[in-house]
Structure formats: structure tokens, C-alpha cells
Structure 1
Amino acid sequence: MASIFQDTFIDYLLRLSLGIRIAPHAEELDSSLWPDMIHQEKTTDTEHPPHQEDRKRTSAVPSVEEVQQDDQNTHTLSPRSSATRVLDTEGVGASDTEKGEATILLVDWYGPDDPAKPLNWSRNKKFWVLFQTCLWTFTMYIGSSIYTAGIPGVAEDFGVSAVAATVGLTAFVAGYGIGPMFLSPMSEIPQIGRMPIYIVTCVLFTVLQVPTALATNYGMLIAFRFITGFVGSPILATGGATIADMFIPQKRSYGIALWGLFGVAAPSLGPLVGGFAAHAKTWRWTLWELMWVSGFTATVLFLFFPETSHSNILYRRAARLRRLTRNPHIMSQSEIDARHMTAGDVAMMMLVRPFTLNFQEPIVLMLNLYLALIYALLYCWFESFPIVFGGIYGFAPQHVGLAFLGVLVGSIVVIPPFFSYLYYHQEPQYNERNELKPEKRMPTAIVGAFFVPVCLFWFGWSARPSIHWIMPIIGSSFFSIAGILLFNSVLNYLADAYPLYAASVLAGNDLMRSLFGAAFPLFAGAMYRNLGTGWASTLLGLLSCAFIPIPILLYVYGERIRMVSKRARHDI
């Protein structure tokens, strides 16, 4: 049970404030283990790794056996062990005593079965962390749609039009689209990691619901809706990286699919949960509900969510070993790399790269545009539900949210056959290095692409008084089937094709689809009222048909495009 608290926020907090170790690490329990965490072959000099022709000069690095021999009689981590011996080389940033530079001992995993490595965690622990990742994602996504039930009340309270009141939805979506461009890359910094970003943003998200719910004017409401979307956004772009930290490539798709399930389920449940609250109380209660959900999520993350970033875990391991040995020359690879990074390099990684990748890489641009369209169609189409089920079928306002359950059912129904496809067809295609060509992700995306127009045509032309209301609800389920297949395929494709830039690529994807999703609902209501449900849905369906060739083209020609790309992977 102790391991469930290891490297969690409460574990770090108690260590820093009281020195209490809830879940001690292996090297803290048994000091004789620490030399096993030093990679002799990877040990390098302080300033930069040796060039190929200089590798022989680093043979003076003390071996693990020498370190163990020095310490075998002490049973403690001796500050005078051979780990502090000076590496006497000439050239290549040579280390010598006069310059005060000494051997760097590189900290790594102490073996292929190191239990601290997230890939080696037990299945139960992986699923527990995956659930928490999905819970935080669910909380963010429900935060967008739960507001929609209160739009009439917002318009009435502040004396604005229904379109202006809808800006409360679009501001939130825009916030969680822009936020990852600045906040998500911070999770890639080894000194920070993912866990602190998730917990700090979740706590801020919870606290900021209070001024949002108590907004005294329209401007205050819109401003805080944008801010709350912004601060809670990192999980939406980095959640996939967290899953990749824990699961080998063959199993990553299952985790991404479950993550996507929660992402689709949340917008479909938001109008249902918010509808009853807005009807029984006021629109402000939709935001109080959001605060309760996010407060519960923040509590769970605070107590149980561990760090999953491999580079951060090794960075903290190196820091512990430096304290235990009083040897300042024990470092992780990320610390060595950081010595050569300027402020400009960090700014490039965090601020510039997510934007440039969007427009300089054809693959990224095409797939981001496609997912942005799907996301925009989803939020635009959702605006038609009150018109269809309230206007055509006479549902009470608090019952309109029940119509969204078809979307939820569709997302659940697609999971078993999709998992069967992954297990029996896709997994055998991985090579001996556990790698899969990104283009082999595309068949499921092609199938999903055809379900989008099927949904919109079915929904639009079955929504009429002469046809039972269950028919458009059944039609709506095809959209979530398409969403699960498309999002899983595309996000995995981008991660496979751009492994070195995955965080930036996914942050850019989140930005583009969120900006599209923020804009389309502003004209959706007028479009459905002026064109009618059938023709408005047909227009959206035809638009989705225009983008169907994208996954097909990438399946056929994607490898050629990758090979001429400057940043895409070429070795698979």
C-alpha cells in the first residue's frame, strides 16, 4: 500500500515540511543499492558528452565495482567514495582539480525491472493512475458543456442575447485550447514533471469556480470562464504523454481509447447534469456543481497521483543520491542536458515550437485541421439538441440533456470491437523493437471518418414530428463512435511520427481544435433555425465528407511525406 503514495504530491509535501517519508525509495531503504543506479557506460564529463574520438579518454571513470569496494565496509553512502575521484583528461572540456571539475556519475534505472520506472508498475497501479488521468480529463470537458444548460438564465440575468451568453461556452473552450501551448510544455521540463502541473492547475481550476459562479456582470463571467479553461488545460494535451509513460507502445492505444472515452462522455453528460441544476436552482448552480466535481478530482490527485515523467523521476533520484552521498557530481541526463540549454532554447521549446510545428509540417497541419473540424462539428451540432428535442419533440428544458445519452452509449459500445481490432490485428504488426509504422494507425481513422456524415445525415432527416425521438438519438451515437476511432488513431499517429516533439505536437492539436470548437457554436443556433434541422445537418455532413480523403491519403502516401519531413521520424 505504501507504494501508492510514492512520488505523490502529499509525499513530496511531507518530505519537504516534516521530513516524513510515507513511501521510502529503494536507495533510502538499502544504501548498498545506489551504485547499481550509476550507468558506467553512460558516465560522462561535466560540460558535454565526449565526441566519438574521445571516448577512450573517459576510461578513467570509476567503475561500479570500485565504488562498491570503497563502500563495502561502511554500509553507508560514504562522501569519500571513488564517486568523487577526479577525471583527469586533456581536451574536450577536460576535468581537473584546478578547474574544479570532476567526473559526472550518470544516474539511470538500476535494471530493466526497476519498480520506480512507470513502465514496470503493477497493472493495478497503472490502471489507478490511468483512471485519475481520465477523471481530470472528464472534469475539464464537462466544464464546457455543463454551462450550456444555464445559457438562457445567463442571458436573462445580464440582459444579453442568447448568442452573447453562448460566449461563456466558447471562452472556456478557447481557454483550454490556448492554455496547453504555454502550460503543457512545462511538464516536459525534468525539474518540474507532470504531477505538479496537474495538481496545481486542478486546485486553481477548483478555486476559480467561486468567482465565476458569483460573477456580478457579464464581463466578469466571460473573463473567469476563459481563465478557468486556461488554467485547467494541460491535462487535455499532456494526458496522452502520461499514458505513454506507463504503457508500452502495443498497449498505449488501449489507454488512449479509455482516455478518449472519458473525453467524449463528459460533454454528453454535462447538459444532463447541468440541466436539472439550472431548472431547480439557477445557472450559477451549474458552476457550483463543476466546483464540487473538480474539488473531488483535486483531492484524489493530491493524495494519489504519482509522477510519471521518466526524466523527472531520474532527476529526483539523482537529487536524493546527492543528499545521501554528499557527492555533487551525481546527476541525471536531464541535468547534464540542461547545462547546455539557454533561456532562448527553453523559450523555443515552450512557446515557439508548438506553433511552428502546426504550420511547417504537412502531416501535422492536415490532421490538426481534420480533428479541429470534427471538434467544431461536435460543439456546433450540440447546439441543435434544444431546438430538436425541445422544439420538435417537446422535451422539458431539464430533460433535453437526456437526449445526449445516445452519444455516451455510442462511445461505450465502440470500445469492445475496437479493443478486439487492436489485440488481434494491430498488435501483431509491431516489429521486434515494439514499433509500429504510424500509417498503420489510419485504417480505424478511415472507418471513423465515414461515421461522421452518417451521423449528421441520420440525425438531421430523422428529427421530425412524424418520426419517434429515439431515431435521432440512435443516429447521434455514430458521432461518438467516429470520435473514438478518429481521435485514437490521429493522436497515436502524431505521437509515433513525432516522438521527439510529441508534447508540442499534441498541444498544437489541442489549440487548433479548441479554437474551431469555440467559434462554431456562435452561429450554430441561427444556422439550425434558418436552414432547418435537416439542411443544417446536411451542410455539416457535406463539410465532413470533404475531409474524408485526409486519412486515406496518409494511409497511402504518409510514409513518403514523413521521409521528406525535417522533424518526423524516418527510421521506421
Structure 2
Amino acid sequence: MASFLRDTPLGQLIRLVSGGRLLKYTEDGNGLEMLRNRRLQHADRTTQAPVNAEADPEVLAKKGTNADDLVLVDWYSPTDPENPRNFSTAKKLWTSFIIFIYTFVVYCTSSITTPSYAYIAPQHGLNETSVSLILALYVLGYALGPLLFAPLSEIPWIGRNIPYWASFLPFLAFSIALTQVQDLNFATICILRFLQGYFGSPILATGAASYDDIFDEFESPYGYMIWLGAMYAGPAVGPLLSGYAVVRDFRWPYWEVAIMAGGLVPLILLLPETSADYILLQRAKRMRKFTGEPKYRAPSEIKRVRVAKVFIDALIKPTEIAMKDPAIAFVTVYGGVVYATYYSYFEAFPLVYHDRYGFSAGAIGLIFLSAIIGAGICAVIYAIYLQLYFTPRALHINAAIPQERWLIPSMPFSVLCPAGLFLFAWTATATSHDANGIEHPTFHWIVPTIGIALFSGGSYVVFQCTIIYISLSYRKYFASLSATYDMSRGSLAAGVVMGSRAVFVSWGVDKGVSVLAGVSAAGVLGMAYLWRYGAMLRSRSRFAER
């Protein structure tokens, strides 16, 4: 239990208050003796280092040592329990659960306000297109936030947890503030929503990197599945949580967010640190404190780290990669289009299910569950494919698996995206007349809803495959590319939220959604091209892993 709690924010606070007497590490007591004994073992990786090619003599000199005396602090052994990849199953599941819930709450907060538009608009003298800013600015906020927070999580002395809880506190504060400002002007609500999205964003960009910290190549797809599940479930559940409540109090969605954010506090305090660089750096510090010798250094301490360069690389490098690497350019744009299409539901559903089928705001919230059902069914099929077919064969080969092999499931599932959109577009708007000449929908409401499930399930697997492809092909830039990927998705989604309602009203839902379906159909060809020629593209890229 002590080792479980020790690397969490709460555990570190307990150590600080107790002066290190509670929740001790190996290095706090007999660490030096263990270090000496383990250095004699063959499996020991904490060794007296020779002159290291990566070590910067200037950096070491400033820290009071040199390359000849340097003791490089690494994992004690391949099974070192403090290595995030060696966490116990219970610890990995607990970490995965917290990241899932945190991600779910942030995504749920985006859409939970949509049922209140009909009540907020007349209060502020706005039409429903204008009031969509409440959603669009939140989405834009969480699209831009990772540009700051993703690079922070890559700095060894910061790690994953500090950006998570340091950004969560403002997220909680703005969530509480929104419950109090509903009688103020609309601009104040919009500003607070943008800031709420901005500070909720770190988990949306680096959540995948956190899963990558604790799972290996064949485990990580299941971690990504959990994370993507939150990405799909959050926006879908939001309208359901508030749809029935806004009839009595249109401020209730903001209270729901504040309650959920408050419930996250104990979970954030119990989230284990997963950054290997951060953990090793803290280990080295404890060794220096215990021995009083500056020669114990983590790998991240033996070379110069320029924080400014980290941020410049994070801001510029992903854009440079997207411009020079067609594979990343396609994945970024296609992912953005698919995600923006998902958010267009919030503008299309009221026009279809309220205006044509007569559903209430609460009942429309139930329709969003079809997205979860579709994604869930396809996730199970994908997991079975991995468990029974892909992974056993990959392990049997006992060699590196080409990254393009992970893209194979995306091709059949990508077909579901345009198929589902066309089904929704043309069945939701089909009209027939009865004997009295009265107009009625031709199809039962379940038919276009099946189209929603097909699109959601197909796009879920496409996102899953592309995230794995990026993580394996561009591992060095994974966190920054995830931030750029998130910015692309969020920016396009924010634009679609503001523009799609006018398009659907002017052109009709059938034609408007068909345009999105056509773009999605082009993505099917792009995924096939990436699978066929991805290896060739990577061989020509100076950024990709070979």
C-alpha cells in the first residue's frame, strides 16, 4: 500500500509534511548498501558509467562532478517495481481508471450545456447559432491548451502529474465560477467557458502518453481504447445528464460540472506519477541527499536541457512534421474532419429529432447514447481481433512489427464512417404523406440512429489505429504530435459547431451531412494509401522511426 500511495500527489505531500519519515523509498534508508550490492549483480543497470557520449562535461562540472566519477542512476533491474512499465496490474488499472474519469469529465463538460441553449438564448437576446459559442469556445480552449501543457509534461523535473493537477485547480475554480455568473452578461459566460476548456485540456493531449508510459507495445492499444472510450462517451453523455434537468433550472448543467470536478479532487490526489524521466530524477536526488555526493545523476541530468527549446520544438516541430511528412499531415487532417463531424451532431440532432420526430431535450440526450453503443460494439470486435489474431501472430514472429500492420483494421472500419453518415442524412430527412396529405417522416427514428452508431463505431477504430501508428512511428515527438492532433480536432470541431447549424438550415440536413460523408469517403482511400505506402513514406522521413 505504501508503494502504491508514495508516488501520488497525496503521498508526496505526506512525505513532505513528515520530513521523509513516512512512505520511505529504498534510497531513504539502506539505499546506499542496496546500491553497492546491486552493482555487483549482472542485471544491475545502476552502474559506474564510463565517459558517456551523451554526457555534457560542462553540465556535469556545474553540478560538481565529472564523467569519470559519474554514477548513472537507472532502474535497479529489468523488474524494478518503480519503473511504470513494471507497475502491478492493480496499479496500472487504477492509473487507467483515473485518467479515464478525468478525460470523461472534461469531454462531458463540453456538451453538457447544449440542452440549455433554448433557455439561455432568449435571456440574452440571442439566436441559437450565437449561443453555440458556449460550446465552441470550450472546444477551442481545449484545442489550444495542450500547446502549453504537453511540452511541460515532457520536461523531466516536471513530469506528468504536475501539469495535471496544476491545471485541474483552475478548471475546478472556473467550473464553480460558472454556477454563479448566469445573471451576468453572455460574454462573461463565454470567457469562463474558454478558460474552463483551456485548463481542462492537458489530459486530452497527454492522456495517451500516460498510457504509453505504463503499457508496452502490445498492452498500450487496450489503454488507448479506454482513453478513446472517454473521448466518445463524455460528449455523448453530457446532453443526457442535463437534458431533463434544464426544464426546471437551465443553470443545472454548470452545477453538474462543478459536482463532477469536485469529485475528481481525491482521484487526482491519488494518481501515480508515470513519467520515467521524472521518477529517475527524483531517485537520483534522494541518492545525493543520502550520500552527500553529487556523482549520482539521472540520465536527464547529464546533458543540457533548454526549456525554451522544448517549447519551441513542441510548437514548431509538429507543424514542421505535418508539412514535411504526408503521413502525419493526412492523419491530422482526417482525424480533425472525423472529430468535427462528431461534434456536428449537436447542431443536427435538434433539427432532426426535435423538429421532425418531436423528441424532448431529454430524449435527444438518449439518442447520443447510440454513439457509445456503436463505439462499444466496434471496440469489442477490435479487442477480439487483437487478442485472438494480431497479438499471437506478432509475438510468434519475434521481430519488430511494421507500423502499417496496426492500420489494417482501420480500412474496413473506415468504410462505416461514410456509410453511417449517408444512412443518417437520407433517412432522417425522407418525407412521405398520408391519405390526408399530412407530412410524416418516412423512416422510424431508429433508422438514422443506426447510422450514427455506424459512424461512431467506425471512427472509434480509425482513431485507435492512427494513435498507435503515430506512437510507434514518431515516438520521440509523440506528446507534441498528440497536442497538435488535439488542436486540429478541436479547432475544426469549434468551427463546425458555429457553422454547421446555418448550413443544415440552409441546405438541409441531408445535403449538409452528405458533404461530410463525401469527405469521410475520401478518408477511406487515404487510409488504404497510408497502409500500402506508409513504409515508403517513413523511409524518406527524417522524423519517423524506421
Partner of 1:3: 3
Task: Quickly say closer, same or farther: Cα 1:100–1:445, change in 2 above 3 A.
Answer: closer
Alignment of structure 1 residues 448-527 onto 2, 5 Å: 448-463=413-428, 464=430, 465-527=441-503
Q: Is 1:172 paired with 2:173?
A: no
Number of corresponding residues = 524
Aligned to 2:179: 213
Query: Could you tell me how far apart the structure 2 residues matched to 1:29 and 1:435 are?
Result: 41
Counterparts in 2 of 1:260 and 1:40: CA distance versus 1, 3 Å: closer
Report 1:230-245 matches (<5 A).
230-245=198-213
Q: Distance in 2 between matches of 1:26 and 1:400?
A: 55
Partner of 1:250: 218
SS of 2:355 mapped into structure 1: helix
CA distance, structure 2, for counterparts of residue 199 and residue 434 of structure 1 = 39
**Residue in structure 2 matched with residue 307 of structure 1 by the alignment:** 273
Task: Report which stretch shifted further, 132-141 or 408-417.
Answer: 408-417
Match of 1:269 in 2: 237
The AA in structure 1 aligned to 2:172 is T
**How far apart, CA to CA, are the structure 2 residues paired with 1:188 and 1:412?**
32
AA at the equivalent of 2:185: N
Could you tell which deviates more after superposition, 261-270 or 351-360? Answer: 351-360
**Offset at 1:150?**
1.6
Contact 2:27 2:290 survives alignment (8 Å): no
Aligned residue number for residue 200 of structure 1: 166
1:64-463 equivalence runs, <5 A:
101=66, 103-215=69-181, 216-282=184-250, 284-302=251-269, 304-337=270-303, 340-427=304-391, 428-429=393-394, 435-463=400-428
The 2-side partners of 1:382 and 1:568 are apart by 37
Contact 1:106 1:332 in 2 (8 A): yes
Distance change (3 Å), C-alpha of 1:369 and 1:48: closer
The two structures have a TM-score, normalised by structure 1, of 0.87
Q: More displaced, 292-301 or 248-257?
A: 292-301
Could you tell which deviates more after superposition, 210-219 or 157-166?
A: 210-219
> Residue deviations 1:415-438, cap 9 Å, x none?
221111112232122587774321
Deviates more, 1:435-444 or 1:167-176: 435-444
> Contact 2:48/2:69 (CA < 8 Å) preserved in 1?
no
1:20-99 alignment runs, 5 A limit: 22-31=22-31, 32-35=33-36, 36=38, 39=45, 43-44=49-50, 49=55
The one-character-per-residue Cα deviations of 1:80-115 (angstroms, maximum 9, x if unpaired) are xxxxxxxxxxxx779999x97572211000001101
User: Which moves more between the two structures, 31-40 or 187-196?
Assistant: 31-40
Gaps of 5+ in 1: 51-91
Q: Give the superposition deviation at 1:306.
A: 0.6
1: distance between equivalents of 2:328 and 2:24? 43
Which ranges of structure 2 fall in alignment gaps of 5 or more residues? 431-440
Q: What is the identity, as a one-letter code, of the residue corresponding to 1:444?
A: P
Once superposed, what is the RMSD of the aligned Cα atoms?
A: 2.3
User: Cα distance 1:40–1:107, how it changes in 2: closer, same or farther (>3 A)?
Assistant: closer
For residues 396 and 317 of structure 1, the distance between their equivalents in structure 2, rounded to whole angstroms, comes to: 57
What do the CA deviations read for 1:380-406 (whole angstroms, capped 9, x no partner)?
Answer: 133111111111111122221111111
CA distance in 2, matches of 1:189, 1:143: 29
| 3-state SS of paired residue (1:173) | helix
Q: Matched residue of 1:418: which SS?
A: helix
1:513 positional shift: 1.0
CA distance in 2, matches of 1:22, 1:435: 44
Are the aligned partners of 1:269 and 1:405 in contact in 2 as well (CA < 8 Å)? yes
Q: Please say if residues 156 and 277 of structure 2, whose CA atoms lie closer than 8 Å, have aligned partners that are also in contact.
A: yes
1:176 and 1:233 in contact (8 A); partners too: yes
Amino acid at match of 1:522: M
Q: Distance in 1 between matches of 2:398 and 2:255?
A: 49
For the 8 Å contact 2:473–2:545, the answer to whether it is kept is yes
Whole-angstrom distance in 1 between the partners of 2:248 and 2:11 = 41
The residue that corresponds to 1:551 in the other structure is 527
1:208/1:42 CA distance change after superposition, 3 Å: farther
Q: 8 Å contact 1:186–1:350 — kept in the other structure?
A: no
Q: Percent identity?
A: 30
**Separation in structure 1 between the aligned mates of residue 261 and residue 343 of structure 2, nearest angstrom:** 22
